[in-house]
C-alpha cells in the first residue's frame, strides 16, 4: 500500500491508508494506546484499540523515535477530543496493522520538545537535532530559496557552471586550505576561497553570463555570522560590462524578492541606496551599516575646537576630530551600564567615554563646566537631542573616532532593541579604497579584491597617493551584515601587473600566481563584472537567526571541529608517507 504523509491524511476520512515515521509520543489511556507519529510534514495521532490484538501488543513496546509503519482507517475525532493546535487535530488513524521498522535506544538529546539543548550536544548528535521541526523547516526553506535563485538566474540567461574545487592558491585575504599533491611531491592544490579566476576565464571563454552555488573554503576563525572552513555563495559574472551599476541593477530584484516574497519581510527603503565607502565610515563608523536605526555620527570639530575642554580642543589641533552620537532615552542607563559601554569604547582604542545628558533642555555632565552655555546649546541643537537623551563623544584620530563610535552605535542598538527583525534594510557600499595601510606589518596592502579594476585604470595607479586610489568595487549590506561583494574586473594585463607592482610584486610573481588568467587576457578578453552573495549569512538574516550554525545542516563548532564525525583527525601514517610530507610536532 502506498505511503501517505501525515498531513495529507486530513482529506482521507473514511479511507484506509498507510503512514510511516517516528514515534513522537506515546500515551496509554484506559486500555487504548495513542501514538503520535511524525514525518517531515507533521504529526498524526494513531489510535490502537485492544481489538487489533497484534498491533496493540506491538504498541505497548513502542518508545520515542522508534520507526514505525501503521495501516488503518482515517476517522474524524469526537468533538471534545479534537486538537485545534494541530493541523491534523480533527482526525485520527485507527490502526489495524502496525510494524516496527527500526528501534531506538534512549535518546542523548530530545527531538520532540522545546527544551534547551546546548550547542555542543546538538552538533554531536546533529542527525537527531535535524529531526526537530525547526531544523526541518530550515532545510526546506533553504531549498526553496535556492529554487527561487535558480529560477531568477535561468530566466535572465545566466548559465550555471561548476568550477574546480582543486585549484591554486590565490590572495583572497584569508588562509588557504592546502592539499598535498601525491603525484607531484612538494606541490599543493588549494581549495578555492572563491571561483574568482575561473569565472573570469569563463568570460574570456565566451560565456555571456555565468552563475553557480559555489562551495568556498577559507581558514578563518569562526564567529556567529561566519562558518568555519566552508561556506556557499551565489557566484555570478557578466561579460561586456564596464560599469558596476549594471550588475547591481541586474541582481537587485532577486534580493528584493527574497526579502519580500520568500521571507515575507518589509523593506526599509524600496529604492536601495548607494553609499560611498568614505561616507559610510563618516556617518556610521563602519562599511556595513545597519540602516534600521539612526544614531549617525555627527562631526563637532568646529563647534568644540576653541572650547575649554582640552581633550576635544587638542584632538582637533593635532589633526584629529570630535564626533558624537545621540542615544535616545539613554538617561535611564545605570552607572554600571555606562561603565560597560566605556569599556567597549576603550577596547576599540578610546581613552575614555565623555557624555552629556540632556535634562530640562540643559546639559548635565562633569564636562559641562568646560563649555559656555552657548557652546552647550549649539551641541545639543546640532545633535538633535531632547530631554532624556544622552550625547556620547569621541575625540581622537579620525579613524579611531569612527571605529569607537561605530562600535558603540551597534552596542546601543542591541541594548535598546532597535533592530526590528521584520524589517530589512539594504544598501550598496561603493567606491572602496583600492589599497590600505597594514599597521601590523607596516606596509601597503590590498584593501579588498586585487582582481578589481582601479577607477581610472593604469593612469590612476601612477598617483603619488596610493591610498587615494578607488576600486570599482561594491558590497551589498543587509541589516549590518555584508552579504555580497563584487566589482568590475581587471581584464588588462598591464593594469594587473601594475596593481601588484605597487605592492612590490614583480611580473614573475604575478605570472606564477595568475599565469592562466594573464595569458587569457592577451587574447581579446571582454570587460566583465560580477559579484558573489554569501548564501549562509543572507539566509540566516532572512530567517531572523543570530547564529549561522542554526541554518546549516552540518556545521562545525566554534573551534572548527565536527563533533559528529570527529574531524579533523590524524591521518594514517601510510597516507602521510605517500604524500611526501612530515608531521612536525609543535
Looking at the structure, tell me whether residues 172 and 251 fall in a common domain. Answer: yes
Does 18 score more than 90 pLDDT? yes
- Which position has the higher pLDDT, 254 or 509? 254
Does 169 score more than 80 pLDDT? no
Percent of the chain, pLDDT > 70?
Answer: 99
Q: How many CA atoms lie within 13 A of 501 on its CB side?
A: 11
Residues 6+ apart with CB under 8 A from 226: 220, 537, 548
Give me the chain's average pLDDT, please. Answer: 94
Q: State the average pLDDT over residues 354-381.
A: 94
Assigned domain for 535 exists: yes
Q: How far is CA 505 from CA 188, 365, 499, 522, in A?
A: 21, 54, 9, 20
Does 170 score more than 80 pLDDT? no
Does 177 score more than 90 pLDDT? yes
Taking alpha carbons only, the member of 231, 212, 241, 232 closest to residue 154 is 212
DSSP for 324-384 reads EEEETTGGG--HHHHHHHHHHHHHTT-S---EEEEETTEEESTTGGGS-HHHHHHHHHHTT
Q: Quick one: how far is CA 21 from the chain centroid?
A: 34
Secondary element (H or E) of residue 281: helix 277-284
Q: Is 82 helix (H, G, I), strand (E, B) or coil?
A: coil
Total residues found in the chain within this entry: 586
Confidence of residue 6 (pLDDT cuts 50, 70, 90): very high
Q: Is 580 helix (H, G, I), strand (E, B) or coil?
A: coil
Total Cβ atoms within 10 A of residue 347: 10
Assigned domain for 131 exists: no
Confidence of residue 172 (pLDDT cuts 50, 70, 90): low
Does 566 score more than 70 pLDDT? yes
Looking at the structure, tell me whether residues 433 and 541 fall in a common domain. Answer: yes
- Which position has the higher pLDDT, 1 or 209? 209
Does 558 score more than 60 pLDDT? yes
Does 1 score more than 60 pLDDT? no
Assigned domain for 21 exists: yes
Looking at the structure, tell me whether residues 407 and 453 fall in a common domain. Answer: no
Strand partners, 223: 226
Q: State the average pLDDT over residues 516-532.
A: 92
Domain extent, residue 339, equals 293-418
Residues 6+ apart with CB under 8 A from 424: 259, 263, 265, 266, 267, 268, 478, 479, 541, 542
Assigned domain for 83 exists: yes
Confidence of residue 352 (pLDDT cuts 50, 70, 90): very high
Strands 42-48 and 91-102: parallel
Q: How many domains does the chain have?
A: 3
Identify the domain boundary among 383, 418, 453. 418
Residues 389/330, Cβ–Cβ less than 8 Å: yes
Q: Quick one: how far is CA 439 from the chain centroid?
A: 27
Q: State the average pLDDT over residues 90-114.
A: 94
Q: State the average pLDDT over residues 425-434.
A: 96
Taking alpha carbons only, the member of 496, 538, 547 closest to residue 519 is 496
Q: Which stretch, 113-122, 169-178, 214-223, 289-298, has highest mean pLDDT?
A: 289-298
Strands 470-478 and 481-488: antiparallel
Assigned domain for 466 exists: yes
pTM summary value: 0.91
- Which position has the higher pLDDT, 527 or 80? 527
C-alpha cell, 299: 562631526
Looking at the structure, tell me whether residues 454 and 515 fall in a common domain. Answer: yes
Does 227 score more than 70 pLDDT? yes
Q: State the average pLDDT over residues 488-498.
A: 91
Amino acid at each position: 500500500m502506498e505511503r501517505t504523509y501525515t498531513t495529507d491524511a486530513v482529506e482521507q476520512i473514511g479511507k484506509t491508508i498507510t503512514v510511516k515515521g517516528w514515534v513522537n509520543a506515546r500515551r496509554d489511556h484506559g486500555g487504548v494506546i495513542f501514538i503520535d507519529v511524525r514525518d517531515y510534514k507533521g504529526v498524526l495521532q494513531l489510535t490502537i484499540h485492544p481489538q487489533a490484538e497484534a498491533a496493540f501488543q506491538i504498541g505497548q513496546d513502542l518508545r520515542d523515535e522508534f520507526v514505525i509503519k501503521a495501516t488503518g482507517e482515517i476517522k474524524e475525532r469526537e468533538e471534545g477530543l479534537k486538537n485545534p493546535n494541530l493541523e491534523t487535530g480533527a482526525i485520527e488513524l485507527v490502526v489495524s496493522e502496525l510494524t516496527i521498522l527500526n528501534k531506538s535506544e534512549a535518546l542523548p538529546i530530545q527531538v520532540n520538545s522545546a527544551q534547551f539543548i546546548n550547542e555542543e550536544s546538538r552538533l554531536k548528535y546533529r542527525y537527531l537535532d535535524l529531526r526537530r521541526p525547526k531544523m526541518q523547516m530550515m532545510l526546506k526553506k533553504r531549498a526553496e530559496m535556492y529554487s527561487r535563485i535558480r529560477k531568477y538566474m535561468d530566466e535572465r540567461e545566466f548559465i550555471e557552471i561548476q568550477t574546480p574545487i582543486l585549484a591554486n592558491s590565490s590572495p583572497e585575504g584569508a588562509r588557504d586550505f592546502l592539499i598535498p599533491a601525491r603525484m607531484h611531491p612538494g606541490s599543493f592544490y588549494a581549495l578555492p576561497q572563491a571561483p574568482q579566476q575561473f569565472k573570469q576565464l569563463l568570460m574570456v571563454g565566451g560565456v555571456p553570463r555565468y552563475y553557480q552555488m559555489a562551495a568556498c573554503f577559507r581558514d578563518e576563525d569562526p564567529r556567529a555570522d561566519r562558518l568555519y572552513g566552508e561556506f556557499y555563495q551565489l557566484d555570478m559574472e557578466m561579460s561586456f560590462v564596464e560599469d558596476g551599476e549594471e550588475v547591481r541593477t541586474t541582481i537587485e530584484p532577486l534580493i528584493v524578492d527574497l526579502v519580500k516574497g520568500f521571507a515575507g519581510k518589509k523593506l526599509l527603503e524600496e529604492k536601495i541606496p548607494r553609499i560611498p565607502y568614505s561616507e559610510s565610515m563618516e556617518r556610521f563608523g563602519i562599511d556595513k551599516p545597519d540602516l534600521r536605526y539612526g544614531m549617525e555620527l555627527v562631526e563637532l570639530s568646529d563647534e568644540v575646537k576653541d572650547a575649554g575642554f582640552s581633550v576635544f580642543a587638542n584632538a582637533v589641533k593635532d589633526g584629529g576630530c570630535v564626533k558624537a552620537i545621540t542615544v535616545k532615552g539613554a538617561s535611564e542607563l545605570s552607572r554600571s551600564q555606562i561603565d560597560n559601554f566605556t569599556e567597549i569604547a576603550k577596547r576599540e582604542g578610546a581613552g575614555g567615554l565623555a557624555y552629556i545628558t540632556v535634562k530640562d533642555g540643559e546639559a548635565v555632565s562633569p564636562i559641562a563646566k568646560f563649555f559656555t552655555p552657548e557652546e552647550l546649546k549649539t551641541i545639543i541643537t546640532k545633535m538633535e537631542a531632547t530631554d532624556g537623551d544622552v550625547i556620547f563623544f569621541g575625540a581622537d584620530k579620525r579613524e579611531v573616532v569612527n571605529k569607537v563610535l561605530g562600535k558603540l552605535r551597534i552596542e546601543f542598538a542591541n541594548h535598546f532593541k532597535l533592530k526590528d527583525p521584520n524589517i530589512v534594510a539594504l544598501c550598496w557600499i561603493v567606491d572602496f579604497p583600492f589599497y590600505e595601510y597594514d599597521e601590523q606589518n607596516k606596509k601597503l596592502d590590498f584593501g579588498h579584491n586585487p582582481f578589481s579594476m582601479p577607477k581610472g585604470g593604469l593612469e590612476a595607479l601612477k598617483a603619488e597617493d596610493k591610498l587615494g586610489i578607488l576600486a570599482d568595487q561594491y558590497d551589498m549590506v543587509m541589516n549590518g551584515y555584508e552579504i555580497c561583494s563584487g566589482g568590475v574586473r581587471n581584464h588588462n594585463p598591464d593594469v594587473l601587473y601594475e596593481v601588484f607592482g605597487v605592492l612590490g610584486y614583480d611580473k614573475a610573481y604575478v605570472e606564477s600566481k595568475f599565469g592562466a588568467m594573464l595569458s587569457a587576457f592577451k587574447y581579446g578578453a571582454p570587460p566583465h563584472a560580477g559579484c558573489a552573495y554569501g548564501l549562509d549569512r543572507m539566509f540566516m538574516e532572512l530567517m531572523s537567526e543570530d547564529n549561522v550554525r542554526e541554518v546549516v545542516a552540518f556545521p562545525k563548532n566554534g573551534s572548527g571541529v565536527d563533533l559528529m564525525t570527529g574531524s579533523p583527525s590524524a591521518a594514517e601514517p601510510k597516507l602521510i608517507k605517500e604524500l611526501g610530507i612530515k608531521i612536525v610536532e609543535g
